[in-house]
Amino acid sequence: MSVLVLGGDNIVPIKVILGDLGVNNIKHWTARNKNSINKKSLPTGIDCLVMLTNFLNHNTMYKFKKEAKKRNIPFICATRNENSISSEFNKKFGSNNEK
């Protein structure tokens, strides 16, 4: 499974959690520069979008959420807390995440 994590600077703990949940390919965009992030579009080949809500503004979240829906890519909105990510991931994909 391939995931794009949008937001946050240091996502090492999040990568560990996602790896434990069966994700083998993790891309990360910090979204620190709001002008350049809004010019990007979702990369091809991702299976899920994880948006870290504490680090994204509403317009950025809306843009990527809309694009994910259009391309039928599941998305998760969570805080940077590892428990929040794990919980939201399990809600979306169930506790058996073998893909």
Q: What is the pLDDT of residues 46-67, one digit of tens each?
A: 999 999 988 888 888 999 999 9
Token code pair at residue 54: 């504490």
For 96, the 3-state DSSP assignment is coil
Which of 98, 57, 54 lies closest to 79 in space, CA to CA? 54
Amino acid identity of 55? F
| Domain count within the chain | 1
Structural domain boundaries enclosing 18: 1-22+32-42+59-69+95-99
Residue at 9 is within a domain: yes
How many other C-beta atoms can be found within 10 angstroms of the C-beta atom of residue 50?
A: 26
Q: What angle do CA 28, 17, 29 make, to 5 degrees?
A: 10
Residue at 6 is within a domain: yes
Band of pLDDT at residue 38, cut at 50, 70 and 90: confident
Q: Is the pLDDT of residue 30 over 50?
A: yes
